[in-house]
Chains A and B, each alone.
Chain A
Amino acid sequence: MHENTLAQLSRALQSKTLSSVELTEHYLKRIEQLDPLLNSYITVAPELALAQAKAADARIAGGTATALTGIPLAHKDLFCTSGLRTSCGSKMLDNFIAPYESTVTARFIDAGAVTLGKTNMDEFAMGSSTESSFYGPTRNPWNTEHVPGGSSGGSASAVAARLCAAATGTDTGGSIRQPAGFTALTGLKPTYGRVSRWGMIAYASSLDQAGPMARTAEDCALMMQVMAGFDERDSTSVDEPVADYSAGLNDSLKGLRIGLPREYFGDGLDAATADAIHAAVKQFQALGAEVKEISLPNAELAIPAYYVIAPAEASSNLSRFDGVRFGYRCDDPADLTDLYKRSRGEGFGPEVKRRIMVGAYALSAGYYDAYYLQAQKIRRLIKNDFMAAYEQVDVILCPTSPTPPFKIGEKIDDPVSLYLTDIYTITANLAGVPGIALPAGFANGMPLGMQLLGPYFSEARLLNIAHQYQQVTDWHSRAPAGY
């Protein structure tokens, strides 16, 4: 059952060759057997899942089902899910039962999907390996000594290990695309403002975006159809009509112009990854695309700019965690200042504290111009680079990571070396453009990913291109041994 893609499961449920209860029980059993090693779930919700599955079967019988009705999903533990613990991978929220439902998860509930549970993540979404979680690291099912990437590593691992049909993730600096690349999945970061952030625990408000993580572009299209749309309650939500993400999947790629940024194919890139992308170039050319070199001249400045803007916004967003209204409170606070300082000092992990402090510094009197304002100007330059590139090409092709998935423990003690691995993903968040990651090959049994970046609101086109590539390659249909 779990070998099937979401699209196949959807058809099986609709034709009643399979029930949602059977499917849900199957995944719950797999989670019980296989997740103790992987640690991809923080919270599993068997009673809720089975109740939803039962309701889904009734709805299917009644003829009012949609594509996602009865489909068991996992949600990154950053979406507020009413009545369920929502921890953000942090001790600060280990006791937090969300009192309301996020827009994204509410949309899946309305569609009749089943919630299997909440997945592990880097604490407060700050990380690229899922090693900073209060609940311990998640392991990559392709090789359990290696990271699944981050911060949506739990979602990636759960989907890759076939412990759910698909999952939601979020991407602020690459946190959907990099783990998708590390686990042979397809993951989409939509245009900023395409998917509502209401009920998403905020990290960096001008960068955060939720998106699907699944085994195929076709599956991601089905997930996007549920997730995308204007939401009154998110003041950054864009009132742009929602495309039919599945309708154009089979459009021809003839005449598609693909750009390869020269700045992204230099010395820092792993040779096997570079080879996989050059092989993909040939595939795209065979499908009718033209491929040419382009330039993103300010690409290198993206990392310092991001590591000012994101921590600055985080320092503001995480100031709400003060031990007063919810979440962790320290024991026996001596006074109000002690309450704040120790609740935060004890409740947050080291990486979160570092980023809050970097952000506070960058925004403080005397440093604002040199750091925050400068970073925002660089952000403008990066956006301009994309706009100029899209005058010459329709989409940009590049790697998701400079290296294949690294070993657990290899980079976590050196924050800066981990930050530098975000080089390919960060630019899309700064510019707000959409990007899709998909599998491009394997090296030593480990997945190699690539991504396609498009103009604003080109998600349907990105899904189409990925789908066409997946019709002529089979990286996406491989499963890790034992899963």
Chain B
Amino acid sequence: MALDRKAVEGIAHLARIALSEDDVPATTAKLSGILDLIDRMQAVDTQGVAPLAHPLETTQRLRADAVTETNQREALQAIAPATEDGLYLVPRVIE
């Protein structure tokens, strides 16, 4: 399936990935090639087949609603790019 430029830019936005002007043609070509491969799936009629999300079809285990973890904020924030007062810093979102 051939993608156009607008579609590729749309996908890059959904994925929050910056795509430079120079990369657009090559990315478009490669993604189109992959979608051609994927389109081979359309060759089979799957009418009435139940989808399989999990190989063994187990169900989600539940546990008691009790606190079991300890607060490790300091250790986990030690590797963050920018923090202040226990919060993660990012560029201003709200003007």
Contacts and interface: CB of A to CB of B under 8 A. Distances in A.
Interface in B18-41: 18-20, 27, 30-31, 33-41
Interface stretch (A7-15, A169-177, A338-346): A338-346
A334 B93 CA distance: 10
B50 to A, nearest CB: 6
A336 B11 contact: no
B72 interface: yes
Interface stretch (A255-263, A275-283, A371-379): A371-379
B37 A99 contact: no
Contacts of B90: 324, 333, 336, 339
B56 A357 contact: no
B38 A307 contact: yes
A289 B18 CA distance: 56
Given A303-B37, A322-B16, A238 B51 contact: no
B55 A305 contact: no
Contacts of B15: 315, 344, 353, 356-357, 359-360
A99 B78 contact: yes
Interface in A273-332: 298, 300-301, 303-305, 307-308, 315, 319, 322-326, 329
Contacts of A342: 18
Nearest to B83: A325
A364 interface: yes
Query: Main secondary structure on chain B at its contact with chain A?
Result: loop
Contacts of A340: 16
A63 to B, nearest CB: 34
In terms of DSSP, what is the predominant structure of the interface of chain A? helix
B42 to A, nearest CB: 7
A96 B81 CA distance: 11
A353 B17 CA distance: 7
Given A308-B41, A415-B33, A377 B56 contact: no
A301 B54 contact: no
Interface string A345-369: 1101000011011111110100000
Contacts of B38: 304, 307-308, 358, 362, 371
A325 B17 contact: no
A325 B86 CA distance: 11
A161 interface: no
Given A238-B58, A301-B40, A344 B80 contact: no
A416 B37 contact: yes
A96 B16 contact: no
B42 A374 contact: yes
A206 interface: yes
Nearest to A326: B79
Contact of B17 (A298, A345, A376): A345
A378 B17 contact: no
B17 A356 contact: yes
Interface string A147-166: 00000000000000000000
Contact of A298 (B8, B44, B91): B44
Given A304-B39, A344-B16, A192 B55 contact: yes
A360 B38 CA distance: 14
B81 A381 contact: no
Nearest to B78: A99
Contact of B49 (A380, A430, A433): A380
Interface of B: 8, 11-12, 14-20, 27, 30-31, 33-44, 46, 49-56, 58, 60-61, 63, 72, 75-82, 88, 90-93
Interface of A: 95-97, 99, 191-193, 206, 232, 235-236, 238, 298, 300-301, 303-305, 307-308, 315, 319, 322-326, 329, 333-342, 344-346, 348, 353-354, 356-362, 364, 370-371, 373-381, 383, 415-416, 419, 430-433, 456
Given A95-B79, A361-B11, A381-B46, 20 more contacts: A99-B72, A232-B63, A236-B54, A238-B56, A301-B40, A301-B44, A304-B37, A319-B16, A324-B90, A333-B90, A335-B93, A344-B15, A348-B17, A360-B15, A364-B14, A370-B42, A371-B38, A376-B52, A415-B33, A416-B37
8 contacts: A192-B56, A193-B58, A324-B90, A325-B76, A334-B91, A375-B41, A377-B49, A378-B46
